[in-house]
Amino acid sequence: MQFRMKLAALVAAGSAASLVLVGGPAGASTHAARPAWTTGREVVHGALHGRAAWIQGGKNNPRVPVKFRGVVHTHGVVGLASSKARTHAIRTPAGWFTVRLTSDHNSRKVLNRAICRLQYTTTSTLVMRPRRSTGAFWGATGHGRVRVKFTFNYPKRRSGKCNFSNSAVPSKHGGLISFRLVIPALTVR
């Protein structure tokens, strides 16, 4: 399968990831109090640039390292495999962060015709899957949005026009794969 077709398939299917956080036990005795619920903003973000983006963009399951910042600080790796499944998860040291996609919007935009820079974007709304999450995310609730962008420079044809065809292979330089998930009010224990 050609590089561009893989990118288009990934974007068309929509991508989302889950984060898993591993939490310790609430307490050893039956009298221990459970931690209080905490609500706050959670941002999960990561990106690959240049050759690393080009290498991952050509794979069936591009992987992007991400950081979690907000009510839970951790890290993980998001797999951006195209899938018809609506539930996605990210494994982290703090546990599994699991979400369900509720809607998708895909777009394609030429950013710069002089260098043939093209961007595919998938934006999805999501809701936490509290019983499918584990660790620090078990029982977590919240709604949010995830945006995945694939940005690459494509070759020019002899006529001087950009070659955005399915058989065109983007440049190994200047590529970008970015992932950003925001839940404005994530509630966790």
End-to-end CA distance of the chain: 44
**Cross-strand bridge partners of residue 100:** 87, 127
Give the residue ranges of DSSP H helices in 77-175.
none
**pLDDT digits 0-9 by tens, 137-179:** 999 999 999 999 999 999 999 999 999 998 899 999 999 999 9
This prediction has a pTM of 0.80
Q: What are the boundaries of each domain within the chain? A: 3-20+37-188
Q: Which residues are within 8 A (CB) of 145 and not within 5 positions of it... i.e. 6 or more apart?
A: 123, 124, 125, 126, 181, 182
Helix, strand or coil for residue 166? coil
| pLDDT digits 0-9 by tens, 1-24 | 455 555 554 444 444 333 333 333
CB 126 within 8 A of CB 146: yes
Name the average pLDDT for the chain. 85
What is residue 156's DSSP assignment? B
- Give the span between the Cα atoms of 141 and 139, in whole angstroms: 6
